[in-house]
Amino acid sequence: MTLPRFHLAIPVDDLDAARQFYGGVLGCEQGRDDAHWVDWNLFGHQLVTHLASGAGDRAANPVDGHDVPVPHFGALLDEDVFHSLATRLRDAGVSFVIEPTLRFEGQAGEQWTMFVRDPAGNALEFKSFADDAQVFAR
């Protein structure tokens, strides 16, 4: 079954910094662009970075012993892709909000997770489930 792709538009305060982070660091393919926005292929989903103020809210909620930034967005990845991305982020000198961590070990929904912020302060989470059938497990 092919899942539908999502479209998400987020505010950034510097399109050149967004290009460096999303294109250079994360390796996302750039799509259409304008003086005020850039489309990105974020693991098969359409992410648009719009030049605007108000990026990077700093609220958090406790989850499994970590302060998880809210709001945040990201992608569910295969485990090999997850660990390759973690290495790529480290090699680029990106600071982790939450280091790559195995969460809920031995429980329903066991997953690898990591959080970073883009240059505008938007929080991103990347995760990989031990069993993809447990993405929505309770």
**Which superfamily does 59-134 belong to?**
2,3-Dihydroxybiphenyl 1,2-Dioxygenase, domain 1 (3.10.180.10)
Helix residue ranges, H only, the chain: 15-18, 79-91
96's tokens = 């982790």
pLDDT tens digit sequence for 37-47: 999 999 999 99
What was the pLDDT predicted at 79? 95
1's tokens = 């079954």
What was the pLDDT predicted at 74? 93
Taking the domains of the chain in order of start, what are their residue ranges? 7-51, 59-134
How is residue 134 annotated by DSSP?
G
- Which span out of 1-15, 21-35, 123-137 was modeled with the highest average pLDDT? 21-35
pLDDT tens digit sequence for 4-28: 889 998 999 999 999 999 999 999 9
CATH architecture designation of domain 7-51? 2-Layer Sandwich (3.30)
Q: Is 66 left (phi over 0), alpha (psi -120 to 50) or beta?
A: beta
Q: Which residues pair with 115 in a beta bridge?
A: 98, 125
pTM: 0.86
pLDDT tens digit sequence for 51-105: 886 655 567 777 878 888 888 999 999 999 999 999 999 999 999 999 999 998 9
How is residue 58 annotated by DSSP?
-
